[in-house]
Structure 1
Amino acid sequence: MGFLEQFVHNGRALLGHRSKAILLSGAACFGAVLLVQRVNSRREQKKRILEAQRRREKSFQVAERALLEYKQSHPMTNALYILSLSLSELTKQLQESALSPEEVFYTYLEKTLDVHQKLNCCTEIILDSFEQLKTIGSCKRGILYGVPLSLKENLLLKNHDSSCGVVKYLNQPADDDCVLVKVLKEQGAIPFVRTNFPQALLNYDCSNPIYGQTLNPHNLQKTAGGSSGGEAALIGAGGSVIGIGTDIGGSARIPASFCAICGFKPTAGRLSSKGCKSIFRGQKTVLSTPGPMARDVDSLALFMKAEICEQMVFLDPTTPLLPFDEGLYQSRNSLRIGYFDCIEQTPTSPSMTRGVQEVKALLEQAGHTLVPFTPVRILDMAELMSKGALADGGATFLQQLEGSPVDPVLHAQVAMYRLPICLRKVLAFILKPFVSFPSIMLIYHSFRSAAGVWKLHASIEVIFMRFSVSQWRRLNLDVVLCPIIGPAFNFCYCGKLMSMVPHSMTYNLLNFCAGVVPVSTVTEEDERNLCHLDKGGWFNRVLKKAITGGVGLPVAVQCVALPWHDELCLRFMKEVEELVKKARKDEGANANGKVYLIYDFH
């Protein structure tokens, strides 16, 4: 090799080594930049979360000082009496000036602060409520004059965040109140506290990285349920007489079941959803709706009467001017009731099956007609629910969580949504013979055309007609009695048991109205009967682990009616409540806990 050739060869070799060094250096720099960005992002996350936690703590401190000042000048001798009143009784006392708004407000504020210390159910005390209390006056305007009430955190409140447990929504205060809150204020109510929820609102546990885990008021080793779990825990422990939750798959009914209160999902559209924040804006296949939560059914009905008014329609013209039918709610005519105590291929706990059977017997004794009812195509509905609620394969859900630490209650869900579509289909195929509904949950996929969405909605219309018009009309049913998810789960099992959601989410898909009423408590026999779940599949065994240790926890039933028959559904719930109350009274104190209405919180 000549000198020139050797020179060129050596030059190329040197350049090659330098190129590799440059590439390696560039890759190292790029990695370092990514690492720095990740570290900075986590620092920013922690900073924003700490700021939100400090704001919450400050609101509690301000409330405690205000409470102390009030108690120093106004001895609170009526606290136990006030807390024992139902909403109907409380409004009557306020209207007649037997109680003042101030003593009611501070009584519930004191109880809420005490309950929160035990259950971690609140996200903040609404400090604006102190100003509203000062200006409420003595005009006694509105159905709910002087009533303090609680709100789930995703209901927009002017100058307050609605984070939904997602860091990116912190430090984004709302410009205005949601429609429901505006109407409530016009009706004289005083929103005074906001309550906790699961991260991103798509789980029926109640924990998020900002405000932590909410505990069940009847067993601190159990979850309060979700997504309206903070509401259920607060009301269930006596810290609020009435509150608002939201429900897209049982989000008000499941925590009501877990915490021994009444929860109601109206027909979507009956109450305004304007200003109810969701991380899935634009998703219309499975409809979400706000709904009341309280200790008794009359309170739910009174809330509906207060909200369904001309002002709500004026503020949100998409809601119908359909006055509350008091005559239908108060009717006590005999009903023709369909019933079932389990769903095909979906696990149901022994206590919930028993609850339905006992209520069925009480209804028959009262002169109602009970007709066996088999829900049609539940697994088909489960598939449609899955495809509709997460038609993008979970992409939006994951995007909303970007920049947020993922809460442990979501780990199972997030892991599933992160799987590639091809792998999900393979797993669904493998699992389908063994666990039908969970295998369906794995095949979420994005629709590639509008035609796919139209086909989905057409399938829902077909099932709606078969479920309601054909079956309900053929049996001439007024309402249906059925189980709800329960009793309360141990922590971190809700995300693993999405196979349970057909118990509640079916009625969101079909847009039926539905409510939950507590009727019993878990017995020792129920606990022993959990051994039957060992004979089922893997998900049955997971359910057993989730509900083990539930003796004494509330047992509830679900009452369902056709769309726009909200008053009939509430009337049915009231019937169940009254019959259980009568049976409890007839059996005396009922030491065995067989028949149950409501815990004595005070």
Structure 2
Amino acid sequence: MRAAVPSVPAVLCGSAGLLLLLLRWRRWRGLWRKVKEARERQERGLEQMDKAARSFRQQHPSVNMVSILSLSLPELSKKIQDGSLPPEHVFYAYLGKALQIARETNCITEYMEESETQLQHTKPGEKKGLLYGVPVSIKDSINCQGHDSMLGFVKNIDKPVAEDSVLVQVLKRQGAIPFVKTNVPQSLISYDCSNLIFGQTCNPLLYTRTPGGSSGGEGALIGGGGSILGFGTDVGGSLRFPAAFCGICALKPTGNRLSKKGVISGISGQKSVTAAVGPMAKDVESLALCMRALLCEDMFSLDSTVPPLPFNEEVYSSTQPLRIGYYETDFFTMPSPAMRRAVRETKQLLEEAGHTLVPFELTNVDYSVYNLCLRGMFADGGATFLKNFEGELEKGSLGVFLWLAKTPNWIKTLLSWITKPFVPRLSNVIRSMRANTVEELWSLHHEIEESCHQFIAQWKKLNLDVMLCPMLGPALLIGYPAKLSVAVSYTMLYNSLDFPVGVVPVTLVTDEDEEELKNYRGYFQDWWDRTLAKAFSSAEGMPVAVQCVALPWQEELCLRFMKEVETLVTKKNMIV
């Protein structure tokens, strides 16, 4: 019997399929080559840091690096300004320490070698900005001329930007020396810190915990002592999570108090939930010095959309007693025992210091999370976010989320309806991911404005100056943030409202907290609540923070309140 001869169409189809597979394989091989090159560049940068730091130590063996690293930013800046501490001593002290923390936590993606050139051009006697000679670290998504802003995407490798962001331009004009860029999670829309290119960043205080995100590299580097001042962004807590998880301070300003020109967003064009760029440092006074430096004529002239509001020293330095609202829970994400204790103990310290504490009743947070925050972030059904992942090698931990973004509205509606009786929170998340019409989006924007006015009206009715709020903590185990997107409720609320918020560490997790955590059930007693309890566990000794909130454009009052909290906690710890 004669064998069947394949038809011409079958041969052509088979050949086309084979060619398609070959082209796909070649493309994937090219992408992996780019990843390898980026990792090699990262390693070369670390080796260059090591070489430069060792060379300096050999030439200047008497320089006390430990002493330099122990100084606060105001102390360090003063010594540089008066000439008692050469800028190169500071630079190489932090270069060596940054290298150590990078090796331990994988927080640095790129060394900016031109920083050494900038240091050499720092001349005695020239006009000195407020940050003269201060080495600063920069989040990956903030543009620095000649360097990639990758956001964890392979497609962004080897695409150096042509111009510094306005923030970096102002920093340089104030004498600061940007010297490293730091790691972020793929897409930025996460409060962990991992991507395919550079891998996982660890918490410097405990390597099994996440440093937070999306400014996680900054949190790890500063928390480990490898940078004295750094900059990140925040659209749902991305400055505040790393600060709280790594035991440092951060300020999320009102969205437009500092320029975002040249700062890359995870979801370009999204305006419903307000993003902000802000500083991170070990203490509040460092943040205040930073804001003094940035709120200058250069900031306002380089970006005319930034209101020309210089730093209000009178408000920051005031000692008048404050009227402070507070709450222990948002009734959506049950606080861990340590979170609740952090608020209670801080409240007591503030009352003992002569401030008035007033209970604030937080209502409808679940509605805000689903219908204002999540729906606002993904008002196009996730289409813009989804485009970021086209052609990428890996989708990280966002597979289900991206599948949902691809799904038509009618399927989302059906899934939301099916899951509602069994997993109501999942049902609401699915529903909030529906694509909106223009009319629906405008209605949403109106609703966001109204919710802000109502919140302010409640604030004014109680005659409050500021607010004390919980901050998610302690740091979750690595990998858990991807499973617990609903836990952003404590932070994202203030992006929706566009209020300035600061984070201050106030306590550490105790054995008693751990024991009490065994009874943690959550408000919904669903899979998310059970998972959050696991993510919190075994964190004895890890820091826990509070949030300090002020009304829009009142960053100075926010910082003043943060400073008060920090001072009282420090005094208490000294007595203990």
Query: 2:520 — aligned with what?
Result: 533
Query: 2:571 — aligned with what?
Result: 582
Deviation of the 1:538 alpha carbon = 1.9
Give distance in 2, aligned partners of 1:399 and 1:492.
24
1:473-524 superposed Cα distances (whole Å, 9 cap, x missing partner) = 1111111111112111112111111111111011111100101100111111
Query: 1:394 — aligned with what?
Result: 382
Write the mapping of 1:28-177 to structure 2, written as runs, cut at 5 A.
Answer: 28-138=14-124, 139=126, 141-177=128-164
The runs of 5 or more residues in structure 2 that have no matched partner are none
Matched, 1:450 2:414: no
Query: 1:467 — aligned with what?
Result: 455
Matched, 1:347 2:341: no
Flag the 1:318–1:238 CA change in 2: closer, same or farther, 3 A: same
Contact 2:189 2:214 in 1 (8 A): yes
Contact 1:376 1:467 in 2 (8 A): no
Query: 1:405 — aligned with what?
Result: 393
Contact 2:382 2:435 in 1 (8 A): no
Correspondent of 1:253 among 224, 240, 259? 240
Range with bigger deviation, 47-56 or 264-273: 47-56
Q: State the identity %.
A: 47
Query: 2:219 — aligned with what?
Result: 232
Give distance in 2, aligned partners of 1:424 and 1:493.
25
Matched, 1:563 2:552: yes
Range with bigger deviation, 369-378 or 285-294: 369-378
Secondary structure class of the residue paired with 1:67: helix
Give distance in 2, aligned partners of 1:488 and 1:35.
43
**What letter is aligned with 1:135?**
H
Deviation of the 1:447 alpha carbon = 4.3
Give distance in 2, aligned partners of 1:28 and 1:504.
54
Contact 1:76 1:103 in 2 (8 A): no
Contact 1:141 1:188 in 2 (8 A): yes
Give distance in 2, aligned partners of 1:409 and 1:247.
20
TM-score of the superposed pair, with normalisation by structure 1: 0.91
Contact 1:250 1:504 in 2 (8 A): yes
Flag the 1:24–1:137 CA change in 2: closer, same or farther, 3 A: same
Write the mapping of 1:97-496 to structure 2, written as runs, cut at 5 A.
Answer: 97-138=83-124, 139=126, 141-382=128-369, 383-406=371-394, 408-433=396-421, 435-445=423-433, 447=435, 449-468=437-456, 470-496=457-483
Range with bigger deviation, 483-492 or 529-538: 529-538
Give distance in 2, aligned partners of 1:140 and 1:106.
22
Secondary structure class of the residue paired with 1:133: helix
Contact 1:438 1:498 in 2 (8 A): no
**What letter is aligned with 1:100?**
P
Query: 1:594 — aligned with what?
Result: none
1:324-381 superposed Cα distances (whole Å, 9 cap, x missing partner) = 0011011121111111111123232221111111111111111111111122321221
1:292-314 superposed Cα distances (whole Å, 9 cap, x missing partner) = 00000001111111000011111
**What letter is aligned with 2:390?**
E
Over the aligned positions, Cα root-mean-square deviation in angstroms equals: 1.8
Range with bigger deviation, 355-364 or 408-417: 408-417
Contact 2:94 2:227 in 1 (8 A): yes
**What letter is aligned with 2:485?**
M
**What letter is aligned with 1:374?**
E
Flag the 1:412–1:450 CA change in 2: closer, same or farther, 3 A: closer
Flag the 1:445–1:545 CA change in 2: closer, same or farther, 3 A: closer
Range with bigger deviation, 396-405 or 414-423: 414-423
Secondary structure class of the residue paired with 1:215: coil
Paired residues in the alignment total 570
Flag the 1:321–1:575 CA change in 2: closer, same or farther, 3 A: same
**What letter is aligned with 2:18?**
A
Range with bigger deviation, 243-252 or 542-551: 542-551
Secondary structure class of the residue paired with 2:557: helix
The runs of 5 or more residues in structure 1 that have no matched partner are 1-17, 588-602
Secondary structure class of the residue paired with 1:401: coil
Deviation of the 1:391 alpha carbon = 1.3
Flag the 1:457–1:495 CA change in 2: closer, same or farther, 3 A: same
**What letter is aligned with 1:546?**
A
Contact 1:241 1:294 in 2 (8 A): yes
Deviation of the 1:179 alpha carbon = 0.5
Structure number with bigger Rg: 1
Deviation of the 1:96 alpha carbon = 1.3
Give distance in 2, aligned partners of 1:433 and 1:346.
20
Deviation of the 1:22 alpha carbon = 4.3
Contact 2:409 2:435 in 1 (8 A): no
Contact 2:203 2:210 in 1 (8 A): yes
Flag the 1:223–1:412 CA change in 2: closer, same or farther, 3 A: farther
Range with bigger deviation, 41-50 or 303-312: 41-50
Give distance in 2, aligned partners of 1:419 and 1:356.
41
Deviation of the 1:209 alpha carbon = 0.6
Give distance in 1, aligned partners of 2:359 and 2:71.
38
Contact 1:257 1:518 in 2 (8 A): yes
Contact 1:309 1:323 in 2 (8 A): yes
Deviation of the 1:59 alpha carbon = 1.5
Correspondent of 1:513 among 500, 503, 526? 500
Give distance in 2, aligned partners of 1:20 and 1:377.
67
Deviation of the 1:445 alpha carbon = 4.3
